[in-house]
Amino acid sequence: MILSLAAVGGVSYLQYARVTEARTSRYTPIGGLSVIAQLPEFELTERSGKTVTLDDLKGRVWIADFIFTTCGGPCPIMTSRLGDFMETLKERNIPRVTAVSFTVDPQNDTPEVLREYATMKLADDFDWLFLTGTEAALHELSVKGFMLTAQRGEDDDAHAVNHSPRFVLVDQQGRIRGYYEVVTNEEIVAMEPGRFIGKPMNPDTKDTLIKDIMALLREEANRP
């Protein structure tokens, strides 16, 4: 477990470096919030069995994360905090924001498994998609599209995957506009089963994400 958590922490650091490079070298200012990258086209399967493409999400602001249902590390915390965040958006009547969770373990996370997981996590109360597909497609989307690390772990668990514990903000045109540290490296290093699941997202991170979402909604409203 200690080695596994250390590996996740190392992956988080490498991912942070990649995001920092993207922020400093690939930004193109548009309004008050910059563009990091255009996502590539994809075609994946939602827990309902419906096919979802990038075009299906255009016209909406969305928050992406990469998880897997048997994860004993940051995934339960990420899902809990994303659910809490969607509840906050609902309470504040902030419309047209979708949550999109991509699995990094499609061998295990079939639509049926994702459907049960989503119901258990109370995701049915929100506009929240859970997507699966081929391992190659999801790996390429994570690494080349979102610039987030995703790789098989080296332990005995066939489904262990090292991946990023960040949320990604995507605009109405399918462009990445921000990365948000949802589970910190300190939390990962100190992690014990269930220890942080009930702990809320850092309020500063939460406020920044809401502010950036509102900026994207205003940007779209003001588009010629």
CB burial readout 98-128, b (16+ within 10 A) else e: bbbbbbbbbeebebebbbebbeebebeebbb
User: What is the pLDDT tens value at each position of the chain, 224 positions in all?
Assistant: 333 443 444 444 344 444 444 443 343 444 568 999 999 999 999 999 999 999 999 999 999 999 999 987 788 889 999 999 999 999 999 989 999 999 999 999 999 999 999 999 999 999 999 999 999 999 999 999 999 976 655 554 444 567 688 999 999 999 999 999 998 777 766 666 555 556 788 999 999 999 999 999 999 888 76
Is the whole model's pTM more than 0.85, yes or no?
Answer: no
- Domain range 2-221, CATH architecture: 3-Layer(aba) Sandwich (3.40)
How high is the pLDDT of residue 161?
60
